[in-house]
Structure 1
Amino acid sequence: MSSLRLSHLATISALALFSFTTHANDALPSSPDHITQPYPVEQITELHSAKQLVARFEQDNYDLQQVAKNLQLPSYYVENLPTDLNALPVEQKTTGFIRLLLPTVTAVNKQILAVRTSLKKLAQKPQSDWTPQEQAWVAQLMESYAVKSNDIDELLLHVDIIPVGMVLAQGIDESGWGTSHFAIEGNSLYGEHLPAHGGKYLTTPGGHVKVAAFDNLYAGTASYMHNLNTTGAYKELWHLRKQLREQNNLNGHQLVAALAHYSTRGEAYVENLRALIKHHQLDSFDHVVLEGNRSERIRFTHK
């Protein structure tokens, strides 16, 4: 692998044993990296090829230009990748990969925003008025995001989205448009090394490098965002994101400037991400909303 990853995930304390789920009746949402069942649809549609997926997208008129125009995104929750994206014509491969990943990226960011919104509401109340559940929830977030000051404003610096265009560009670059071994076999699109606390992993030839592996694309995407939001090497990213948000100009093309430490390629990596974002107009999806009237959960079977 050409990129060097810096991961820091805090050890989860006993407070993490509290079950903060995302059901409608619960006031306190979970961080996406703690959600084990992220998909709202139980029934699974099994597909066997990338060609089948593209045909399904075309049948339902899932078109990226229309999504960018209307800001309405079909709720296709694709759990994993097909093995044959490279068999598609180039345009079908590129638009197919973006279409299959975009709803997952949007869903993870939506969950992060739910946590952020609840935090901001809680910050408006005196801590003496917090319920025991609220106190435990904030304490768990502080530990998960490696915030030792117990300052809720500092926590909010970490609990924020990663712009869609930036996520898509890194997924494209790191996974070779969803065709790498680690992406297909481990749902690992973003080049994360195995964190110190362990977990599922795959190895490079010879077993020299352990690459994090995940149960599905949602889990892999949530872990990557959590890595960016917790690892000290990305402190510049947190502050740049805050600045861009205050300027109402938070987008991937701007924020990737803080990613020189993500890869051994340094500034060349940043420029490549910017080229991907510009060429494929990836920042045009920043404000899309998942359609709620119908959703579908798709899983590829690898023979």
Structure 2
Amino acid sequence: MHKAKIILVTMLVVIAVVLVIIFMLPKKSIVTSIPSVENAYEPVPKFSEYKQVKEKKKAFFNYLAPAVKAQNDYIKLIRQEILGYQAKEASGERLSDYQIEELKWLTKEYRVETNQDKSDMYQELLRKIDIIPSELVLVQAANESAWGTSRFAQKGYNFFGLWCFKKGCGFVPSRRNEDASHEVAKFTDLSSAMYSYMRNLNRHPAYSDMRAIRYQLRSNQKPITANAMAGGLLKYSERGEDYVKELRQMIRINKELIAL
């Protein structure tokens, strides 16, 4: 009987210790936790092996679509958090230390100045942190990666031609000028690549026109469409207007396949 009591007490102590440890662990933030999809670390499919064009396109879209959705769902959650911060401060309440840290992370991640009026800061955050229509993401990925067959996509999950500027950060382009130092970024998984691409469109000065189009649509309570937002990507390619026309044509031609 005495032995049983000792075992019971020991078990209760262990449970108590575990509960204390769990309680003391830092809370996982939905803001700073970048979402990952189930196939994120799986090798990129060999799209060049498809003989039928339609089947290759379907496989390509089906592979990327879950990652696109995960990032857009994440962006929607972040927008709700930002609106919550804004409402809380507008009512005279102070943000919690945890919320302050999340807000700091967002302003740094999306390059938003914090020394401006609070309402302007929140407006800029909401202007930058917003969804990218899946149709636009998918056709741009197809355009930039030759339908997933480029070595950058196959070996580094880079479907968007994203650059990096630290030696060894990626692939050295074969046509790079002698005085250039950029590389084509290499990613460890699909989700981090998709996050980087969307963040790039949402924060880089070159795509402010795209964000202005989206902001105008949202302000007028109109649908945020791929066709409209493609018009803000003139600076994504040296081809400019021809590049935008090609994206819009791809959106139109592949509309039914993307919807499958």
TM range, smaller chain: 0.7 to 0.9
Return the structure number with greater relative CO, CA threshold 8 A, min gap 6.
1
| SS of equivalent to 1:148 | coil
Shift of 1:158: 0.8
Shift of 1:77: 5.6
CA separation of 1:160 and 1:137: change in aligned 2, threshold 3 A: same
Shift of 1:175: 0.3
| Structure number having the greater strand percentage | 1
Match of 2:108 in 1: 143
- Contact conserved, 1:78 with 1:217, CA < 8 A, in 2? yes
Unaligned 5+ runs, structure 2: 1-25
In 1, Cα distance between the equivalents of 2:166 and 2:100?
26
Match of 1:30 in 2: 31
In 1, Cα distance between the equivalents of 2:257 and 2:122?
29
Shift of 1:248: 2.4
| Structure number having the greater helix percentage | 2
Match of 1:205 in 2: 174
Aligned ranges for residues 51-62 of structure 1 at < 5 Å? none
Match of 1:96 in 2: 59
Amino acid of the residue matched to residue 98 of structure 1? F
Aligned Cα root-mean-square deviation (Å): 2.6
Match of 2:158 in 1: 188
- Contact conserved, 1:165 with 1:284, CA < 8 A, in 2? yes
Shift of 1:143: 1.1
1:164-216 Cα offsets, whole Å, 9 max, x none, are 1110011010000000111001100001111x467731112276551011111
Aligned ranges for residues 223-238 of structure 1 at < 5 Å? 223-238=196-211
Amino acid of the residue matched to residue 175 of structure 1? S
Taking structure 2 as the reference length, the TM-score comes to 0.78
Percent of aligned positions that are identical: 30
Match of 1:240 in 2: 213
| SS of equivalent to 1:211 | strand
Does 2:189 match 1:219?
Answer: no
Q: Name the count of aligned residue pairs.
A: 223
Does 2:45 match 1:82?
Answer: yes
Match of 1:254 in 2: 228
Match of 1:296 in 2: none
- Contact conserved, 2:58 with 2:258, CA < 8 A, in 1? no
- Contact conserved, 2:169 with 2:183, CA < 8 A, in 1? no
Match of 1:160 in 2: 130
- Contact conserved, 1:182 with 1:189, CA < 8 A, in 2? yes
CA separation of 1:284 and 1:94: change in aligned 2, threshold 3 A: closer
In 2, Cα distance between the equivalents of 1:205 and 1:261?
22
- Contact conserved, 1:28 with 1:118, CA < 8 A, in 2? no
